[in-house]
Chains A and B, each alone.
Chain A
Amino acid sequence: MKKKGGQLILIEVGVVIAIALILILIMPAMLSAFRLNLLGRFLSLAIVGLGLDLIWGYTGLLSLGHGIFFSLGGYAIAMYLKLQIPSGELPDFMELYGVTELPWFWQPFYSFPVATVAVVLIPGLLAGLLGYLVFRNRLKGVYFSILTQAAVIIFFNFFNGQQQLFNGTNGLTGFRTLFGANVSDTQTQFIFYTLTVIFLAATYGICRWLTSGRFGRLLIAIRDDESRVRFSGYNPTEFKVLVFAVSGAIAGIAGAFYTLQSGSVSPRSMDIAFSIEMVIWVAVGGRATLTGAIVGTLLVNYARTFLSEQFAEIWLFFQGALFLIVVTVLPDGIMGWLKNQKMPLFNRRQQIATYPTLEEDPEVQNERQNLGN
């Protein structure tokens, strides 16, 4: 039994590496530089999808605030890129607003190691703090969602309002060099793309590891019945804070890669709409399936690019309909649906769930339908 499990994991590792190699070696030959850049951006969005799946799919906490962590990661790397200037000079926008001295919190971003650590640490710590303040009081369900959503508005307002510190609405843009290489060069962009693929694979590995062991079972138990977990002697708060922090850190990494490839970061990525959009990527792919998060992100974003290239207006209608359809008709998403179809390829691993709640029990629902109540 154990040996078979080991073999399956080896196969999975092999498949992941193979896909990563295809993405790194074959895709660049097939796609133009522009399309490759687009794919790279979507792959970095898939990283945030994985993080969101960890917290929504497995732990049952619907975070509508991942835009914050995504953008903070983006801002951290963008601040480093902005400071690639002779010492003593200020970033261009600061001179415009009459700032004479570099603000204190910009100072550490001169160093590359600090910036890279900040990409992970700042969003992670912020998520941990926010999570601690919310979960400590056992606020959960829609309360958590609303509070995270309000947090998005707050950060949006903050970054939007601080013209002198973060260039307000326009955000940070116009990066020039990184380690002496031109950032917008095709060669440099290809390196970013490769790194994105590697980090996506690594994030997948981490999430897979987190969700498959005891920790993952606990997360699912918290999702299905938190009170029982508490009565069994665990403290769900700690686990929830931890998983929220990890998820935030993952979002930060995604934001950094997205910023590197799109060449700008602005408060627009802290919009409510963007944060909720992330949820739909995961929902379309299928929550509580890690592959679903990646597949969903890529599918929705490509659909978006395609549809907004063809007809700009229809996209919002289409997106709204997507929310409705996924929630009502396809609650398990594409991957969940494929699994339910008993296809041998996708049915390898049994999806873990403890027990259905009363409301979702098909028998109870059936009775209710028949009773007309």
Chain B
Amino acid sequence: MLTGFLEALFNGISIGAVLLIAALGLAIIFGLMGVINMAHGELMMFGAYTTFVVQNACKELGGVWFEFYIFLALIAAFLFTAVVGLILERGVIRYLYGRPLETLLATWGVSLIFQQFVRSVNWLLVIGIFLFCLLFFGGLKILNSRNILGKIRNWVVAVLLLLSLGMTIGTGNLLSNRQVVTQPWFGAQNVDVTAPNWLQEGISLGGVQLPFARLFIIALTIVCVAGIYLFLQRSNWGLRIRAVTQNRSMSACLGIPTQRVDAITFALGSGLAGVAGCAISLLGSVGPNTGQNYIIDTFMVVVVGGVGNLAGTILAALGIGTANFLIGSGTLAFLLSPIQPLADLLNFFATTSMAKVLVFALIIVFLQWKPGGIFPQKGRTVDI
């Protein structure tokens, strides 16, 4: 019985570890800019798909490449999602600062686009997007530099938009009868990432099975948390980020480039989502809906943990991950079997989906007691 409990605890902690990496990014972004990034789950999905791509590339190379592709994939996932996050911040979110609800909706729109993008991405789409950006933004740049816009600006932009859209669609139609360009890269089905051989084994510690994949995830989380901690506490940009989080306008007055801080933070948070995506690809198959499965739990971690606090986020992530697993796997019900009514109640919730119901109820109860999270922000100006 004890081994069963320990095993469940271990599994719960490893799920909590994934939540933690994801929530870390979300919490930093939320703490700094007050932005809830609904596309965070999709950035995780991008990280998972990057892992898939890197895996396939390394499979071609074979041998030692395939054994250690996971490290390459981690770096690639981090970089790729960081760049996507940077584009997102520069392209959309920076226009919406100070309007958190609008940002929430806009990022939800982005997440819808990302989901469908993964389903239907092919060379045609990539060529189309590239062409459109070249025509539209290039044209805009030329027009801006000539300084001829002024009053008729809106009309010029509209015409330019229509023109470049038309040209893109025209090119698309020309190319659309070739198989090579219309073949989807991933399609709507889930894809599977095979872990390298050394990650597929596990060790047995006093009867408790510890798979290496989950140990790896826990180690990865520790590295990420330590890295973020060092970055925030020891580096120059970390100092700036902390300053802006505490008081944006005062930091701006003192010459901290807040816009650049925002962009860097957003890229960092997105990169962490990519790393989390790499981790979840080790736990199961990856599909266009992967992000949606994790996003709510991640939000809950941020709400329970309190804003702008690493320790709160860590506690909340581990707590929620473990609680979900312990209740969902029925371990807790089994442990409490001496107390019959409580065990019956817990048995009712002993599936993965029903466990979430109970955990949410517990979170609501918790928020009645501590509305600001585990470690609430203190001070006179705090207004959540």
Contacts and interface: CB of A to CB of B under 8 A. Distances in A.
B258 A373 contact: yes
Given A62-B104, A140-B384, A272-B292, A317 B92 contact: no
Contacts of B371: 137-139
A319 B104 contact: no
A117 to B, nearest CB: 26
Interface stretch (A68-76, A84-92, A191-199, A324-332): A324-332
Interface stretch (B15-23, B55-63, B218-226, B348-356): B348-356
Contacts of A323: 105-106, 108-110, 112
A157 interface: yes
Contacts of B3: none
A161 B357 CA distance: 11
A70 B252 CA distance: 46
Nearest to B98: A359
Interface in A235-292: 272-273, 276, 279-280, 283
B384 A145 contact: no
Interface string A113-136: 000000000000000000001101
B360 to A, nearest CB: 5
Interface stretch (B134-142, B209-217, B276-284, B296-304): B296-304
A327 B103 CA distance: 8
Given A313-B120, A359-B99, A373-B259, A142 B368 contact: no
Q: Give the secondary structure class of B's interface.
A: helix
Given A142-B100, A319-B109, A328 B299 contact: no
B105 A157 contact: no
Contacts of A322: 109
Interface residues of A, number: 49
A373 B259 CA distance: 7
Nearest to B292: A272
With most chain A CB atoms within 10 A of its CB, the pick from B252, B259, B292, B364 is B364
Nearest to B101: A62
Contacts of B257: 373
Interface residues of B, number: 51
Contact of B357 (A154, A279, A283, A372): A154
Interface in B182-237: none
A201 B65 CA distance: 67
A255 B105 CA distance: 23
A283 B99 CA distance: 14
B102 A316 contact: no
B263 to A, nearest CB: 13
Give the interface SS of chain A, mostly helix, strand, loop or mixed: helix
B109 A160 contact: no
Contacts of B367: 133-134, 137, 139, 147
B36 A133 contact: no
Interface string B255-297: 0011100000000000000000000000000000000100010
B163 interface: no
Nearest to A357: B98
Nearest to A276: B108
B96 interface: yes
A150 B105 contact: no
A43 interface: no
B120 A137 contact: no
Interface in B69-121: 92, 95-106, 108-113, 115-117, 119-120
B104 A157 contact: no
A133 B369 CA distance: 11
Contacts of B368: 133, 136-137
Contact of A320 (B110, B300, B357, B384): B110
B165 to A, nearest CB: 12
A157 B349 CA distance: 11
Given A137-B367, A137-B368, A324-B92, A143 B109 contact: no
A345 B64 CA distance: 73
A143 B384 contact: yes
A160 B34 CA distance: 33
Nearest to A130: B364
A205 to B, nearest CB: 28
Contacts of A62: 101, 104-105
A146 interface: yes
A108 interface: no
Given A147-B364, A326-B105, 7 more contacts: A142-B30, A142-B104, A279-B105, A320-B111, A322-B109, A327-B103, A373-B259
- Which 7 A-B pairs give the minimum distances between C-beta atoms? A323-B109, A359-B98, A137-B371, A320-B113, A320-B112, A316-B116, A157-B353
24 contacts: A60-B101, A137-B367, A137-B368, A139-B384, A141-B100, A142-B30, A142-B36, A143-B303, A146-B36, A151-B360, A158-B354, A161-B353, A272-B296, A283-B105, A316-B115, A317-B113, A319-B112, A320-B109, A320-B110, A321-B113, A323-B112, A324-B106, A326-B105, A357-B98
